[in-house]
Structure 1
Amino acid sequence: MPRKIGKLFPNKKSLDLKLERHLEKLYLRVYGIPVTDFYIAEDSRSALQLSDSFEESIIKTSKGGYDGKGQFRKKKGENPHLAGDQTYVVEKFVPFDFEASIIAARTREGKIYYNQPSYNFNDHGVLLYNYAPSDDYGMREKASMLLDRLNYVGVMGIEFFIKDGTSMVNEYAPRVHNSGHHTLSGSSISQFEQHIRCVLGLPMQEPRLLSHSGMINILGREVDEDLERRILYVPGTLIYNYGKTPSPRRKLGHVNVTASSSEELLEKILELKRIIYPQHE
């Protein structure tokens, strides 16, 4: 068994921390990796009481929930209904300037390789689009602290809040990450190949961003032929159709896009947004 002989990559510790949000938050705080202020509540009543310690808070269920699910934004004095008695993470709301992420890969020998960080735009807790490169804001340093502390092997995606030029960790993903999909089009090596090389102990290479690149998710709508044709009229695009059954806000595919400058890239992404989500224009 891989677990018995120590060859499970990424290791079990990094996966166990993701089973419940409060375990991840406590781990980050204990080891000095900056996160927003938070409390752990054992039930919904305690969560509401603790949330009033902040002028505004985000209450998150500890188990389950992702892409904005299981999260409640609350102002002091409000009394929303929280479903069921369970463990909650009560976070101070951070009026961040923007969100960003970094894809990092760590080998069995402990060498870390970083992809260029990306700016992220989220809609109701779900990544809508992102684009690289972004400035670092200390993300590499915090990523290395986490990967080394966990003795991690493989690719990890780490999401950050950026406020006044500094970064704090929102959460990490012990796997390839949605915000790194653009590396398939814009980088010398994709996050997927990086992960396989690290896990199998194959030689790694320093990832290089070959062009400005980004990604927009296709949420909740079928990727039909008409949509594909309109997307492909935008130069530098590549469509990934997941073949999933459509449901509201489900990730059904994404579009990678490349450009010669950040300005051109953002223009293309916003054009794709108008094509994919005309109802929001």
Structure 2
Amino acid sequence: MAESQMAASLRYRRILLKLGGEALGPRHTSEAGEPRIGIDPVAVRRIAAEVKRVHDLGVEVAMVIGGGNIWRGADAAAAGMDRATADYVGMLATVMNSLAMQDAMEKLGLVTRVQTAIEMPPVAEPFIRRRAVRHLEKGRVVILAAGSGNPFFTTDTAAALRAIELNAQVLLKATKVDGVYDDDPMRNANARKFEELSYMRALNMGLKVMDSTAISLCKDNRLPIVVFNLDQPGALEAIMRGEKRGTLVHDLEESVIGERA
């Protein structure tokens, strides 16, 4: 297929992919049964390869990566650390993940830029909206680190904010499961999956799609969210081609929501 025909067949041309930090971390646990922390190079390379598949189709890709595989600000605050300080440490964790992802992507031949909400010139560019847009237009993958640069706001909210700022057509939230359920499918085999969901129902039901601030931002700016499982090979590419994967959260009449898988 010619490049122009391939591009014309895509559902989305500019995306923002949100990854939790756990996606980059070790999948096994310690001898004591506790989750291991850190960065797993194998997991990073696998994700980088999935992103390259869609980039090769002509999709402009921006990314926001959490830091939960290294540090959780909320947990540290609950243990007595000042919340703002704990959140700033978490922002630095996202920079570490972003640099690891940049390295993996560039080894695959992708041209990338890491931009941070907290300035650190030796390792990354500061986030400048116009510069980020220009990078995307030139075919560079832009990895947006350090959240929004503000404590008390999650990386989900940062992802929604950056997606809106960069005029992304969709916010893709990668999770461990293949969509949004009315209960935890890992614990409840009878949990119902939603094929589509309205912003308001996601908020009112307290579903763990993203935090409420992030969903509200998307709702106010009519930015659709697709929640999907990045562990399924080719899932990201399938979404770009218009196939139904995961759960679509968008402007939807209440009378037609709640469809089951």
TM score, norm. by length of structure 1: 0.25
TM score, norm. by length of structure 2: 0.26
Relative CO higher for 1 or 2, CA cutoff 8 Å, sep ≥ 6?
2
Larger Rg: 1 or 2? 1
